[in-house]
Amino acid sequence: MTAFFEYVARNVVRRLGSFVGLALAPCRSAGKRCRIGLPRRGASAGPTKLVESASVTWAEAPRYVVGLALALLVVSSARAAKIGDLESLDFGEQFARFFTLQDEIVRLALLGSVFLGVSCGLLGSFIVVRKLSLFGDTLSHAVLPGVAIGYLVSGYKDPVAIFVGATLAGLLGTVLVQLIKKTTHIKEDSSLGMVLAGFYGLGVVLMNRIQAMPTGTQSGLDKFLFGQVAALSSVEVWMMGGVALASILLVTVFYRQFLLGSFDVGFARGLGLPTGLFHYLLMLLLAFTVVVSLQAVGAVLVSAMLVIPAASAYLLTDRMHRMLIIASVFGVLSGSLGAFLSFFGNSLPTGPLMVLASSFVFCLCFFLSPRHGLFSRWRKRKTRDHRILNENTLKAIYHVREERGFVGEGVGLSQLAERMGETAEEAKRRVRELVSAGLCDIQESGAKSEALLNPDGWLRACAVIRNHRLWELYLTNQAAYEPDHVHDDAEVIEHVLGEDTVRRLERLLDYPSQDPHGKLIPSLADLQRSLVKTPSPEPPSGYRMPGS
Amino acid sequence: MEFWKQLIPPFDFQQVFVEPWTEYLDSFLWIFAMGFLVTAACGFLGTFIVWRRMALVGDAISHSVLPGIVIAFLVSQSRDTLPMFLGALGAGVLTTVLIELIHQKSRIKTDAALGIVFTTLFAFGVVLVSLYGENVDLDVDCVLYGELEHVIFETPVAFLGLFEAPNSVLRMGAVTLAVMVLVAVFYRPLLLSSFDPGLARSMGVSPAVIHHALMALLAVVVVSAFEAVGAVLVIAMLIFPATTASLLSDRLPVILGLTLLIALLSAFLGLHLALWLDASTAASISVVIFGMFLAAWASRCVTRVAREGFRR
Amino acid sequence: MSNFPLEAHDLTVAYDRRPVIYGVDVQVPEGKLIGILGPNGAGKSTLIKAVMGIVPKSGGWVKVFGKPFERNAARVGYVPQRESVDWDFPVNVMDVVLMGRYGKLGLTGRLSSSDRDAAADALEKVGMLPFAKRQISNLSGGQQQRVFLARALAQESDLYLMDEPFVGVDAATEAAIIELLRELKSRGKTILAVHHDLPTAQTYFDMLLLLNMRLVAFGPTEEVFTQELLQKTYGGRLTILAEVADQRVQRK
């Protein structure tokens, strides 16, 4: 008998696993296919690859998680524990209970969190990119009277009745927002707020009435406000599973329609796609997701589970299909973490804990995301500032040498300080920076110390000067600027001109050798020729004369 | 059938409408005063909030003051007004700062940033309440729909030797008065900066200053209303009077006057609804204003259709 | 019955009961490059959107190649205004251009390699192939417009409707776009573009459609680009009109 069950379970798991894998496959192959044959710059490859490889492995993750959870549920559902058994346990036992998955409650709760995370991640991604976050908030509050009415009609906490009631209430709220927007001058944010508050108030009054009724105290409806994952029944979990499955299926099958409808509705209609239909399909899925998540997260905070994992994923990737996958993974992670924490503190509501877990994930992404994170932005800016500072020092050294007609190699630090308008200490510090960047040497001769650019440093200095003067020339010749107005602009642009632009500028200006102030422009061709070790009539200084 | 009878209790006019004003006048008066003051202050300020499209910012702040209040309770170990105000104000400022930070330092749009920040802070507050609920004398119910009727349990304090009133009613009265006076004094800059920020700036009124002042005032109102109506329902008091009034008139002074009238009416009807149904007072007031909005909306639609039919 | 690429009769669109375009009658011949001109709020964009059913018509009818738009949607390419989309959306250039192929795929079809080739060709034509993997927010205004154009090219349509394709683009892109449009025209395609720069209008387009709520004039550029008609369109508000028309007369 047991063997039979195990066989069935294994088969189910394999089927489901391959199915989920199938569902995710197009996303992956789409990503791969694009990668072929398109040149990519070496510089930007690093962080992108990191995300790509990560998302591919993540894409596999849900398949295993779902499979594992299902297997455990089917195989060992015989050994179940009652609700309430979980109360009054110490930390270690609680821990063990959670991770050995012996209890049906734990299994149900975990499975529920997984389903919740998947559907919230998928729908939430669309909510975030469509800028409907606050709409999600309204919807989650608006379902409350429906929950109460569902309870009243069925007479007990019937998941199906509550599902139907809540969905209807949510859709009614949605329609009301649209109607208010269409028929009055009231702005959308106010109409969202009104539906949120009005429906929520109505829901609270109805729930107060239910609790005042003789059977009401055991109604368990208060769990719908902040959620209690331990109170999930198996029917509710299967409903969550159904919604998660439907979300995965529909989003995979109609991915293109959802994508285009979210990105550019006008164009989608121009293609003749039934955009209205897909919009309402998405809204319906969203309503289903909110409704089945109520018991686990609570009406007040469902919107957070929609928005936060999706926003975290939005910080990590630039492609919609990856965002969907990453958001689901984050949803599953924070959902399970919230459920886990809620088991520790016996009476703690689950919703807030799940939200805090996902906020934690968001914080990590916000600071550490390789491309859009605060930290990497800060580091990028820091290195850029550093480079600009170094280039300015190089420029100053060039200027000093230029003033004396490129005679002699070393540049005295006191002269340099004078040229830069800084103190001697500051000049020395800046030169040390150059030394550490491998562009320059310091030669101490007695009390006087001199900065000696090495060939790399010299090339860089010439390149910066060339950028500056080329740009000045471009502005005066092509954009008809006055020669005395171009310096400040060139000061900025000299650090960012790329080689291609420089080539184009040179071609455009017919390979000039003098800037508008009559000074020499070291040409790109010269600079590059000097990189190749060709014997040239160099002056004995060891440096090439620029432009010679 | 029995079930529905239990749901909607029999309506007893004597019990619902007469007795509160006769036998229980002493305590009922203060509940009524509190209900009116909260709705009036929120509605009055809400006119500008709605107009400036900050309605959901108001919702966000009303949620996110919760951790500030709880932490203030835990630190000061008292229900004094000042620490509570400071805590909530701090949380309110933190909310706006975080929203701005997320919006500016990443590519996340304002709406999502709002949705992230206030839910996180609120969740944090709820966890704190669940953990330390007994210590701070706050429970999750209070957070969700307020306990307006609890004003009668407060020991009345004398006001200028004239009469005695519960502390929170006096405080709410002061806040309401302050809101009205401030709006009256700064009416013109407020109007200007809401309507045309560019013009306001050219005339020496800084829209940023007005904006932050309005947010601070909003935080103060939300905090003082917090115990009475909770975190979620404040938004009903903020938005409904303003939008309902704007359906009835299109002149700002009239709208401001109408919000007060709507506040009075909704507090009155809401209290009696709560008495009749034995439900949360704040939620009942919300339901009543919601109903009033729907009525105003319907009447407007009907008159519009009628006018057009006539024209044809 | 002749099948004009675009034929509208008594086309009327109203927002909130206020008419935006009113009673437009037009028959667009094949293989022409047509500019739609008119002052702000004249309903230029609305006309295009009404043709494609993006905004509901309040009256009249539109036919595309002799059939209602819905039945011939695949033969119409569209370039919306650049501001109509969120450029922070998590898609890259290739994704956007591939959207042009969605119309041919049916409800659940998959993108094939020929779709990708078509998209790559379209990108090549607008000189954006090296940017195919770039996220769309890292593009300049001119590049964004080129991407939209490439998307329309990938549709491989016979009639192109373009909403302000020259707004906010650099001079080089503008020249490249007009070059591309002429090439399309030489292959027998019909192009309608909303335009708002009068001096360039007369050199860019074969035909002009002057619109100010009503159709003021529609015909070959030489016949339509007259001071009288432009005055009628713009209501004499533009003083440079007179100058432009004078220049024209002088050049003749």
In sequence order, what E strands does B190-267 have? Answer: none
Give ∠ CA B48-B53-B58 in degrees, rounded to 5.
Answer: 75
Q: Determine the 3-state secondary structure of C167 from DSSP.
A: coil
* B66, B125 contact by CB (below 8 A): yes
> At residue A24, does pLDDT exceed 70?
no
Partners of residue A152 in chain B, C-beta under 8 Å: 3, 7
Length of chain B in terms of residues written: 312
Min distance A456 CA to chain B CA atoms (Å): 36
Mutate to test the interface with C, among A44, A125, A264 (most CBs of C within 10 A): A264
ipTM at complex level: 0.91
pLDDT given at position A139: 92
pLDDT given at position B120: 94
Buried/exposed code over A63-85 (b: 16+ C-beta within 10 A; e: otherwise) = bebbbebbbbbeebeeeeeeeee
Give me the domains of chain B, ranges plus CATH numbers. 21-146+161-306 (1.10.3470.10)
Whether the CA torsion A316, A320, A326, A331 is positive or negative: it is positive
pLDDT given at position B138: 67
The A residues from 274 to 313 touching B (CB cutoff 8 Å) are 300-301, 303-304, 307-308, 311
- The answer to whether residue A353 neighbours chain B at the CB level (below 8 Å) is yes
What integer best gives the mean pLDDT of chain C?
85
Would A382-453 and A457-531 be classified into the same CATH topology? yes
Q: Which of A57-61, A387-391, B36-40, C167-171 shows the highest mean pLDDT?
A: B36-40
pLDDT given at position C4: 85
Q: Which residues pair with C217 in a beta bridge?
A: C210
Instruction: Please state which of the four CATH numbers 3.40.50.150, 3.40.50.620, 3.40.50.300, 3.40.1390.10 is assigned to the domain occupying C6-85+159-251.
Output: 3.40.50.300
Q: How confident is the model at residue A118 (pLDDT cuts 50, 70, 90)?
A: very high
Which of A16-25, A56-65, A113-122, B28-37 is predicted with the least confidence, judged by mean pLDDT?
A16-25
- The answer to whether residue A132 neighbours chain B at the CB level (below 8 Å) is yes
pLDDT given at position C1: 47
Between A410 and A22, the more confident residue is A410
Residue in chain C nearest B108 by alpha carbon? C88
The A residues from 208 to 237 touching B (CB cutoff 8 Å) are 208-210, 212-214, 225-226
Query: Considering CB atoms only, which of C53, C95, C113 is closest to A269?
Result: C53
> At residue A538, does pLDDT exceed 80?
no
pLDDT given at position A22: 38
Work out the percent of chain A whose per-residue pLDDT is above 70: 74
Query: Considering CB atoms only, which of C102, C110, C113 is closest to A271?
Result: C102
Query: Considering CB atoms only, which of A136, A300, A345 is closest to B232?
Result: A300
Sort A214 into a burial class: Cβ within 10 Å, 0-12 / 13-18 / 19+. exposed
Ranges of each domain in chain A: 79-372, 382-453, 457-531
Question: How large is the average pLDDT for residues A249-268?
Answer: 91
Between A312 and C137, the more confident residue is A312
Please give the order of strands across the beta sheet that includes A440-445: A411-412, A448-453, A440-445
Min distance A115 CA to chain B CA atoms (Å): 21
Going from the C-alpha of C53 to that of each of A271, A330, B101, C235, the distances in angstroms are: 10, 40, 41, 29
What pTM, to 2 d.p., does this model score?
Answer: 0.78
Between B244 and A507, the more confident residue is B244
Q: Dump pLDDT digits (tens) for B12-62.
A: 777 777 777 777 777 788 888 889 999 999 999 999 988 888 888 888 888
What integer best gives the mean pLDDT of chain B?
84
> At residue A49, does pLDDT exceed 50?
no
- Strand C214-220 to strand C207-212: parallel, antiparallel, or no bridges (unpaired)? antiparallel
* C33, C182 contact by CB (below 8 A): yes
Mutate to test the interface with C, among A33, A251, A271 (most CBs of C within 10 A): A271
Q: Which CATH class is domain A79-372?
A: mainly alpha
What integer best gives the mean pLDDT of chain A?
76
Which of B9-18, B262-271, B272-281 is predicted with the least confidence, judged by mean pLDDT?
B9-18
Question: How large is the average pLDDT for residues A521-548?
Answer: 50
- The answer to whether residue A389 neighbours chain B at the CB level (below 8 Å) is no
- The answer to whether residue B178 neighbours chain A at the CB level (below 8 Å) is no
Q: Dump pLDDT digits (tens) for C84-102.
A: 888 889 899 999 999 988 8
Residue in chain B nearest C137 by alpha carbon? B107
Q: How confident is the model at residue A359 (pLDDT cuts 50, 70, 90)?
A: very high
Q: Dump pLDDT digits (tens) for B149-199.
A: 777 777 777 666 667 777 788 888 999 999 999 988 888 888 888 887 778
Question: How large is the average pLDDT for residues A390-405?
Answer: 83
Question: How large is the average pLDDT for residues A69-82?
Answer: 39
Going from the C-alpha of A270 to that of each of C152, C158, C222, the distances in angstroms are: 11, 14, 32
> At residue A35, does pLDDT exceed 60?
no
> At residue A223, does pLDDT exceed 90?
no
pLDDT given at position A472: 82
Work out the percent of chain C whose per-residue pLDDT is above 70: 92
* Interface B:C, Cβ pairs < 8 A: 3
Domain A457-531 in CATH 1.10.10.10: yes
Work out the percent of chain B whose per-residue pLDDT is above 70: 91
- Strand C159-162 to strand C190-194: parallel, antiparallel, or no bridges (unpaired)? parallel
Q: Chains with ≥3 Cβ pairs under 8 A against C?
A: A, B
> At residue C129, does pLDDT exceed 50?
yes
- The answer to whether residue B85 neighbours chain A at the CB level (below 8 Å) is no
Q: How confident is the model at residue A399 (pLDDT cuts 50, 70, 90)?
A: confident
CA distance C215 to C27: 12
Question: Would you call A270 and C76 a contact, using CB atoms and an 8 Å cutoff?
Answer: yes
Q: How confident is the model at residue A84 (pLDDT cuts 50, 70, 90)?
A: very low
> At residue B289, does pLDDT exceed 90?
yes
Question: How large is the average pLDDT for residues A185-210?
Answer: 90
Question: Would you call C151 and A271 a contact, using CB atoms and an 8 Å cutoff?
Answer: no
Q: Which residues pair with C211 in a beta bridge?
A: C215
> At residue C69, does pLDDT exceed 50?
yes
Could you please state the CATH topology (level 3) that the domain comprising A382-453 is classified under.
Arc Repressor Mutant, subunit A (1.10.10)
Partners of residue C137 in chain B, C-beta under 8 Å: 107
* Count of Cβ atoms closer than 10 Å to residue C23 Cβ: 15
Which of A211-215, B204-208, C159-163 is predicted with the least confidence, judged by mean pLDDT?
A211-215
CA distance B232 to B230: 6
